Structure 1
Amino acid sequence: MVWGERLARLPATFTTGEALRVGLHPRDLYRLRDEAVLAELSRGVFRKVDEPAPRYPDLLAVAYRVPRAVVCLVSALAVHDLTDQVPQAVQIAVPRTSRPPRIDYPPTEVSRFGVDTFELGVELIEAAPGEAIRVYSAPRSVVDVFRLRGRVGESTALIALRRYIAGRDSRVGELIEIAHALDVARPLRAAIDVLTAS
């Protein structure tokens, strides 16, 4: 089949634009989806069903929709095992100067972070074999939920901070550095003092 050869030239996860470049029309993609050859992760984002299942399919889908975005807040805490909450939506950050994307599926919440600190603490994690996405590091995520605790909840922020401090890989110095950069060092230090004193 012609589409089989063309499909073989695509990676495990791909966009409609990438499919068009190898000669697959959107109607072919939807037919292959209906025949269970492809899974549609989000509008215009497809994955071959014979590939290994992604660890974070929703995060992978959103990363393909908004490549510059960074997984943040409770979604990032979940990746770093710093919360027991299951986020109701994929939480991503984009630079404050960017227009927030509109994504219906998977449900997505967009935060706009300052341009000067946007890349601070960004790391890559594997969402599927060989496919990395941008996520804020554990210390950056803790600082973010702490500074936005009015939105995500005080208890969420304190639990994340407690788990991070108790972890084997905790780097409290880095946590404080990031807190300084994001203007939340004083309240974060006070919370650390309370948590470590008890």
Structure 2
Amino acid sequence: MYRQEAILQSCKIVAVKMTDSSQIKRLTWLPIIILYVPLCRLLLTNTDLLEQNYQMESNNQKILALAHTHSLIRPCDLEAQGLPRVALTRLVRQGLLTRIGRGLYSIPDRSVSEYASLAEVARKHPQAIVCLLSALRFHDITTQSPFEVWLGIPNKARAPRMDYPPLRIVRISGAALIEGVEEHRVDGVPVRVTNIARTVADCFKYRNKIGLEVALEALQESVREKGVTMDDLWRFATLCRVANVMRPYMESLP
């Protein structure tokens, strides 16, 4: 900025000298002016380019630092920091970022776990709750590997959409949005997941969607392998309004 002002000031000095009629009559000034004014413009243009390049590089470094910190970033993350969204496309083109889905970016070759899809979903939809078959898999209760990510969202919330992974949505309300919901960090991303006892109760509630056999297996494994207490199971059976459904199966456990 200071260099621009200095160049402009020099141009003004030349312009003042031109207004002097005695100097204008001397043609020796004319070649100087003809050469000097384009030079001023060239210097101003180069200075602008240097400042633009500096700002662009500074923005790039801030975005890459953000990607390292959060593992996955979205365009809205840049807006919150006052950074231009268009920089994401440029960094992808340069190979410094990878686009892993619509509106979702990460550093190349980042280390991911087997639950990477949960992290990707949670980064785009942080209020959604991983539940049912996806929660069973997360807690290592079932041998099934669902190809969809099961999510619980509020009744009136807009259903999240992603190119990948495919999502399976269930609607929940009231205390079920809070009770029995834990936060885990998956690949550096906070993910909301129903705890084991709540997941078992949910399986009985949605047994028509996932099958009664899955719910029974979850109940048995949660007690035998995970040490879930009957009190916890009963609490969430009551919350999910499936106490009468679960009672005979709970009583039959050894």
TM-score range (shorter-chain normalised) is 0.7 to 0.9
Moved over 6 A (4+): none
Measure how far apart 1:166 and its partner are. 0.4
Partner of 2:131: 72
Query: Of residues 40, 45, 52 in structure 1, which corresponds to 2:104?
Result: 45
Q: Are the structure 2 counterparts of residues 149 and 83 from structure 1 closer, same or farther at C-alpha, using a change threshold of 3 Å? A: same
Partner of 2:61: 5
Q: Counterpart of 1:166 in structure 2: which amino acid? A: R
TM-score, L = length of structure 1 = 0.88
In structure 1, what is the Cα distance between the partners aligned to 2:168 and 2:112? 24
Q: Counterpart of 1:138 in structure 2: which amino acid? A: I
SS at match of 1:91: strand
Partner of 1:95: 154
Partner of 1:147: 205
Q: Which has the higher strand share?
A: 1
Q: How many residues align?
A: 195
Q: Are the structure 2 counterparts of residues 9 and 24 from structure 1 closer, same or farther at C-alpha, using a change threshold of 3 Å? A: same
Structure 1 residue ranges without an equivalent (≥5)? none
In structure 2, what is the Cα distance between the partners aligned to 1:156 and 1:110? 18
Contact 1:124 1:133 in 2 (8 A): yes
Alignment of 1:1-198 (within 5 A): 1-10=57-66, 11=69, 12-22=71-81, 24-49=83-108, 51-129=110-188, 131-194=189-252, 196-197=253-254
Is the radius of gyration larger for structure 1 or structure 2?
A: 2
In structure 1, what is the Cα distance between the partners aligned to 2:64 and 2:168? 34
Q: What is the RMSD computed on CA atoms of the aligned residues?
A: 2.0
Q: Which has the higher helix share?
A: 2
Partner of 2:54: none
Q: Compare 31-40 and 167-176 and name the one that shifted more.
A: 31-40
In structure 2, what is the Cα distance between the partners aligned to 1:118 and 1:17? 25
Q: Counterpart of 2:62 in structure 1: which amino acid? A: R
Q: Are the structure 2 counterparts of residues 63 and 189 from structure 1 closer, same or farther at C-alpha, using a change threshold of 3 Å? A: same
Measure how far apart 1:172 and its partner are. 2.1
Structure 2 residue ranges without an equivalent (≥5)? 1-56
Contact 2:155 2:173 in 1 (8 A): yes
Contact 2:237 2:243 in 1 (8 A): yes
Q: Are the structure 2 counterparts of residues 97 and 115 from structure 1 closer, same or farther at C-alpha, using a change threshold of 3 Å? A: farther
Contact 2:64 2:107 in 1 (8 A): no
Q: Structure 1, residues 24-76: CA drift from partner, whole Å, max 9, x if none?
A: 54443234334443233331121222543245221111112211110011001
Measure how far apart 1:138 and its partner are. 0.8
In structure 1, what is the Cα distance between the partners aligned to 2:214 and 2:226? 20
Q: Are the structure 2 counterparts of residues 41 and 161 from structure 1 closer, same or farther at C-alpha, using a change threshold of 3 Å? A: farther
Q: Are the structure 2 counterparts of residues 61 and 178 from structure 1 closer, same or farther at C-alpha, using a change threshold of 3 Å? A: same
